[in-house]
Amino acid sequence: MKSPKGFRGKYFSLAAILALSATITLANETKSYVDTKKSAEAQEEFSESEELTPPSEELDVVVISKKIKVKEVDAPFASEIYTKKQIKKSRAKDIYEFLNTQSSVVTIPSYGNIFTQSIDMRGYGIGDGYQNVVVSVNGRRLNNIDMTSQLLSSIPLESIEQIEIIKGSGSVEYGDGANAGAINIITKGYEGAAVKAYTGSNGLQFASIGLGIKKEKFSISGYIDDYSHNGYKTIANEGTKDDSWSRNKEIKGTFTPIENLTLNLGKSFSKMQIKYPNALTLAQYNQDPYFTPIPKVEWWGTEQDYKIQSYYSNMLNYGLNYQLNQNILFDFQGYDENKDSTYESVGGSFPSKDISHYDNKAYNTKINFKNKDFKIVLGLDSFEGNRDSYGNLVTKNNLGYYATLKYNINNQNSFSIGSRYEKIKYEHNDGINILKDDIKLNAFDIGYNYTIDKFSSFFISINKSFQSPDIDRFFTYNFATSHYEFNGFIEPVKVKTLNTGYNYIGYPNKFKIATFYSDIEDEIYYTGSVNTNFDKTRKYGLEIYDKYNILYNLFITLNYSYVNTNIKENSINPAVEGNNIPGVSKHNIKFALGYNPTHRINLLLSHVYKSKAYSMSDIDGSFGKMEAYNSTDFSATYKYKKYEFFAKVNNLFDKKNALFADDGTTLGVYPVNYERNFMIGMSAKF
C-alpha cells in the first residue's frame, strides 16, 4: 500500500488521544453523565453542548420542500430528512460529500470536476441522472437549461438548516425534470458570529465566517468562504496539477414593515476554477491512478494537455410573504442570475477558450389555503433561461401552473392529489437563422397515508412526471449547412411511478422502507454520435433507512438502496434491449456508527459501497461492468464551550475509485477518491 500523501503524524495522534479518552470514559458513562448534569457548575457547560439523545423536533420533522407542509410520518411519499445536527456530525467538507456518504443519492465528480458533480437517484445514471432530479435552494431551482449539472458548490454546508430528499414525487410542485424526485436545501441566516477553518492533505485550505443580527422587525446576515486545493496528481508533462479554488459570499435580510408582511432581499456571488485532467486508459488506471494522462486528440486534430474551467455566478433574490389571515398565505419569490462559464483548452497547436454567458430569471408565486381538515396550494412558476455562446443565443422558457390538495379524512387517513400543466418554449438564434418551437407537458400525483399511530404510517402514491430536452439535445449542428437545426431524434421523457412504503419515526429506532416501480417513455441518452431516446425503459427498487440508538450515546445507521433498470424497447438499436442503464449500481450501501463517550466527544465511522456498474454511456455493455466503489471515513470532534475541534480521515483504507466513461469507441477512466486524505480544523459560535 502506498504511503498516504499529505500525511502528518499529528492527525493520527489526535485520533488516538480521542479514542483513548473514549475507552477510559466508557466504563462509567451513564452515572457520570447524570451526576454531571445535576451539578450547577457542569450545567452551564452541558447547556452549551448538544444533547446526546435527539430533541423532540428531530422526531417530528416537517417536510417543507413540498409546497404543502407535512410531518415526516404523515407524508404520502418516500423521503429522507437531514437536520442541521446530522449534517454537522457527518463532518463532510461540502454538500456533495454529505449526499454521497450519508444519503441514498449518488454523487461523483464529473470527468474530474469536483464543483459540478454528477447526481443520480433511483437509477437514472451518473451520466444523465442530474437532469432527472430537481435541486432547489429555498425554492430556487438550480437545474440548468443545457447539459451542465447543478452548481451545489456555491452553497456552504455551514449555512444549511435542513436537506430534504423527496423520492418518486415532486413533479406537481417542481415540474420539469422531477422524474426521480427533488432535493431541497433549506438555509437560514446567521445570528451572532460563526467561524470555521480547516486544513488537510494536498494543500487543502478552507476558512469561512458568518455574521448576523436578528430583531423583531428585521434581520440581516452574510457569509464569506474561501476554499483552495493544490491538487491530487500531475496532469501534464510540465508538472501542472489538478488544483482548484472557490470563493463564495452572500448577504441577505428580511424586513417586517407591518404585521403579517415580510419582505426579503439577498445577493450572492460565487467564483471558482478547476483544472481538468484527460482520461486514463483502463490499463494505466490499473497500473497507477497517479499516471500522468497523455495529450488528448480533439476532433479538429490538435492535441490538448488538459482543460481549465472557470465559473462565475451573480445571483439576486427578492420576495414577500403575506399572511392575509390565519387560513390564507400569499408568497412571491423572484430570482435573477447571471453567470459565466469558461472552458480553456491548454496545449497543442490551437489552444482555445470557450465562453458561455447565462442570464436566468425565475418567478414563483403561490397561495396557500388551509383549515382543520384540508390544505390547498395554487401556484405559478416561470423560468426564463438564456445562453450566449459562440455568438449563438439560445433560450428555454418554462411556464407552469399547478394545484395540489391534502385532505385529512380522519385522524388516521389522509389523501393528497395534485396536477400541473407546463409549457416549454425554445428559441435558437445564430445570427442568420432563428428556430422556434414549444412543448406542452403535464404531471399529476395521487397519494394516500394511513397513520397507524403517532410514530408509524403506511403510504402509497402514483406519480406522473416529465423531462423536456435541454438546449444541447434539442438543437444539433449540421456540418453540411454550417447551421443549427432541430434534433429530429429527440422527444421529452414521460414517467409513471408507483411508490409504496412504511415509516416508523420514533426513538430509539427510526425506520423507513419504500418500494417503487417506474415505466418510462423516451428516456433520453447519448449514443456517441447523437442525442436520442430509448423507446421504453423501466426501473424498480427497494430503499431502506434505519437509525437505531443502541445506547443514548451509541447509534448505528443504514441507508440501502437496490435499483434494477432495463431497456425494454429501442427501435434505433434493438440489440441493446434487455440491457441495464449504464452508470447505475444495483446496490448502494451507506453505513455509519456514531459514539459519544462524553457530551464533549463525538466519533463517527462511515462506509460507502456501490456495486459494479457499466461505464457511463456503455449502452451495449461492451466493456463489461467496472469495479465497485468503496470508501471508509472516520471523524472525531471535541467540544469545549463555544468551540469545536475536529479531525477526519477520508478513504481510511486507501481504496482507489474512479468514474468510467465510454466515448463511443474507447473507455476513459477518471480517478476519484483514490487516496487516503486527512483534515483537521475548528469552528466556533459567538
Cell of 213: 443580527
- pLDDT at position 428 over 50: yes
Question: In the chain, what's the furthest Cα-to-Cα distance?
Answer: 84
DSSP letter string, 423-488: EEEEEEE-SS-EEEEEEEEEEEEEEEEEE-SSSEEEEEEEEEEEEPPPHHHHEEEETTTTEEEE-T
pLDDT (mean) for 302-326: 93
Share of the chain above pLDDT 70, in %: 90
What sections of 529-660 are H helices per DSSP? Answer: none
Residue for cell digits 454538500? 95
Q: What is the pTM of this model?
A: 0.89
- Superfamily per CATH, domain 9-685: TonB-dependent receptor, beta-barrel domain (2.40.170.20)
Query: What integer pLDDT is reported at residue 189 of this predicted model?
Result: 87
Query: What integer pLDDT is reported at residue 76 of this predicted model?
Result: 92
**Lowest-pLDDT choice from 11-15, 137-141, 543-547, 647-651:** 11-15
Which tens digits make up the pLDDT trace of 513-530?
A: 999 999 999 999 987 778
Judge contact between 377 and 155, C-beta under 8 A.
no
Helix (H, G, I), strand (E, B) or coil at 675: coil
Query: What integer pLDDT is reported at residue 348 of this predicted model?
Result: 73
- pLDDT at position 676 over 90: yes
Query: What integer pLDDT is reported at residue 58 of this predicted model?
Result: 57
pLDDT band at 664 (very low <50, low <70, confident <90, very high): confident
Distances (CA, A) of 572 to 128, 525, 582, 614, 617: 19, 12, 17, 20, 15
pLDDT (mean) for 184-197: 93
- pLDDT at position 14 over 60: no
Query: What integer pLDDT is reported at residue 301 of this predicted model?
Result: 62
Judge contact between 157 and 444, C-beta under 8 A.
no
Query: What integer pLDDT is reported at residue 69 of this predicted model?
Result: 83
pLDDT (mean) for 54-72: 66
Share of the chain above pLDDT 90, in %: 76
- pLDDT at position 49 over 70: no
Which tens digits make up the pLDDT trace of 86-107?
A: 998 888 989 999 999 999 999 9
Judge contact between 141 and 535, C-beta under 8 A.
no
Sheet of 181-187, strand order? 78-83, 160-167, 181-187, 133-137, 140-141
In the chain, the amino acid numbered 291 is F
- Quote the mean pLDDT of the chain: 89
Which tens digits make up the pLDDT trace of 353-408?
A: 889 999 999 999 999 999 989 999 999 999 999 999 988 999 999 999 999 999 99
Query: What integer pLDDT is reported at residue 302 of this predicted model?
Result: 74
Decide which of 16 and 672 is more confident: 672
Rounded to 5°, the CA angle 280-283-289 comes to 55
Query: What integer pLDDT is reported at residue 39 of this predicted model?
Result: 39
Residues counted in the chain:
686
Which tens digits make up the pLDDT trace of 464-517?
A: 999 999 999 999 988 888 888 999 899 999 999 999 999 999 999 999 999 999
- Burial group, residue 432, by CB count within 10 angstroms (0-12, 13-18, 19+): exposed
Which tens digits make up the pLDDT trace of 231-290?
A: 999 999 889 999 999 999 999 999 999 999 999 999 999 999 999 899 999 999 999 999
Task: Compute the distance between CA of residue 316 and CA of residue 335 in angstroms, rounded to an integer.
Answer: 6
DSSP letter string, 495-560: EEEEEEEEEEE-SSEEEEEEEEEEEEEEEEEE-SS-EEEEEEEEEEEEEEEEEEEEETTEEEEEEE
Identify which of 631, 519, 537, 607 has the alpha carbon closest to the alpha carbon of residue 579: 537
Which tens digits make up the pLDDT trace of 561-606?
A: 999 999 999 998 999 999 999 999 999 999 999 999 999 999 999 9
Decide which of 259 and 45 is more confident: 259
pLDDT (mean) for 280-304: 87
Helix (H, G, I), strand (E, B) or coil at 247: strand
